[in-house]
Amino acid sequence: MSVKVAVVGATGKLGRLVAGIVTEHPEFELVAALGSSSELSEMLAADVVVDVTVPGVSQKVVEYALTNGRNVLVGTSGWSAERITGLKRLLGDEPSNGVVVIPNFSLGSVLATSFATMAARFYDSIEIVEAHAARKVDSPSGTAVRTAELMAAARATRGPVAAPHTDQRARGQQVASIPVHSLRLAGVVAKQDVIFGGTGEVLTLTHETISPSSYTQGILVALRAASTARGVTVGLESLIDLGLPGEPAPTAAPGAAPSEPAAAPENVSGQAATATSVTP
């Protein structure tokens, strides 16, 4: 039996991609495609609701779906640690449904964030430069916020990074003490550099999204996870085994069925925790 899916934001770029993936895979059935003029109740025909709207609307959509017992996949930006804590509270201690929040569906981006997290405890001087299309309404990007928060958590015993002159606006916005610089440019899809300054060396980890097709595999993995989710799961890295040192043996590769989702770490957001420009 196929899983019934509703896509909220189905007229948008990401929503069209998700709707196409749902339609192409017989394990899913697209039963509702909602836009800004739809009634939220239209999503209730589905088992799984995918929210790919705008940051100012996403919370209402997700809470409506969860309150009505649906499982949810969130791809929208703007899911701060605080908002995610609110979802945990909403679902309670013994949840009968769940939500999967994915700040970035791209495998390469998730790997880059994991590599940055590994490197973070070896450097005290770290900054992020992220670039997206000019139409992106929130900044810093959800991926930059999550990268900064994960790096800060990994180097917690070393304390904040050594970022000088952060009182000057041109030094970027500090996220978990790490300066983040956001570029909004025509012609760019998405790019992130995490730059580590060391003694006599600079390490730069770069990920660039060339095409939204990079999200396809991650969306499929996340859809499968969302259809059986209980509680709150954050990040594609929670659904696939990256095989990092000290991690459990591989149980799922991208495109394969996900392993048991990891719990969302405290104080680490799903998406932009500090969006400075969010369209209501």
Ligand X SMILES: NC(=O)c1ccc[n+]([C@@H]2O[C@H](COP(=O)([O-])OP(=O)(O)OC[C@H]3O[C@@H](n4cnc5c(N)ncnc54)[C@H](OP(=O)(O)O)[C@@H]3O)[C@@H](O)[C@H]2O)c1
Report, in Å, the least distance between residue 12 CB and ligand X.
Answer: 2
Direct distance between the N- and C-terminal alpha carbons of the chain, in angstroms, rounded to an integer: 38
Nearest to 160 by CA among 119, 203, 126, 194: 126
Tokens read off for 256: 């394969």
Alpha carbon of 75 to those of 15, 33, 54, 125: distances in Å? 9, 15, 10, 31
207 is catalytic: no
Question: Residue ranges of the alpha helices (H) in the chain?
Answer: 13-24, 55-67, 81-91, 107-120, 142-154, 216-228
Least Å distance between CB 219 and ligand X?
8
Does residue 121 bind ligand X (CB under 6 A)? no
Write the binding mask 44 to 83 for ligand X: x where contact by CB under 6 A, - elsewhere.
--------xxxx-x-----------------xxx------
Nearest to 254 by CA among 232, 237, 270: 237
Binding ligand X (rule: CB under 6 A), the pick from 28, 64, 79, 105 is 105
**Is 129 a residue that touches ligand X (CB under 6 A)?**
no
Nearest-Å Rg of the Cα atoms of the chain is 18
Residue list 212-231, contact with ligand X (CB under 6 A)? 215
Under the criterion CB under 6 A, does residue 102 sit at the interface with ligand X? yes
| Cα distances (Å, whole numbers) of residue 254 to 18, 20, 117, 135, 219 | 17, 19, 20, 30, 10
Give whichever of 35 and 248 is closer to ligand X, judged by the CB atom. Answer: 35
Residue 11 dihedral angles phi and psi, to the nearest 5°: -85, -10
Alpha-carbon distance 100 to 226, whole Å?
Answer: 6
Residue 140 interacts with ligand X (CB under 6 A)? Answer: no
Per rule CB under 6 A, is residue 12 in the interface with ligand X?
yes
User: Other C-beta atoms within 10 Å of 254: how many?
Assistant: 17
> Applying CB under 6 A, which of residues 27, 35, 122, 185 lies at the interface with ligand X?
35
Q: Which of 24, 27, 36, 244 binds ligand X (CB under 6 A)?
A: 36
Residue with the closest Cβ to ligand X? 12
Among the listed residues 4, 25, 60, 136, the single catalytic one is: 136
84 binds ligand X (CB under 6 A): no
Site size with ligand X, rule: CB under 6 A: 25
136 catalytically annotated? yes
Binding of ligand X by 9 (CB under 6 A) = yes
CB 100 within 8 A of CB 72: yes
* Minimum distance from residue 134 beta carbon to ligand X (Å): 12
Nearer of residues 6 and 161 to ligand X, judged by Cβ = 6
CB 103 within 8 A of CB 144: no
CB of 125 to ligand X, least distance (A): 28
Nearer to ligand X among residue 82 and residue 121 (C-beta): 82
Q: How far is the CB of 90 from ligand X (least distance, A)?
A: 19
Binding site for ligand X (CB under 6 A): 8-15, 34-37, 52-55, 57, 75-77, 102-105, 215
Catalytic residues: 132, 136
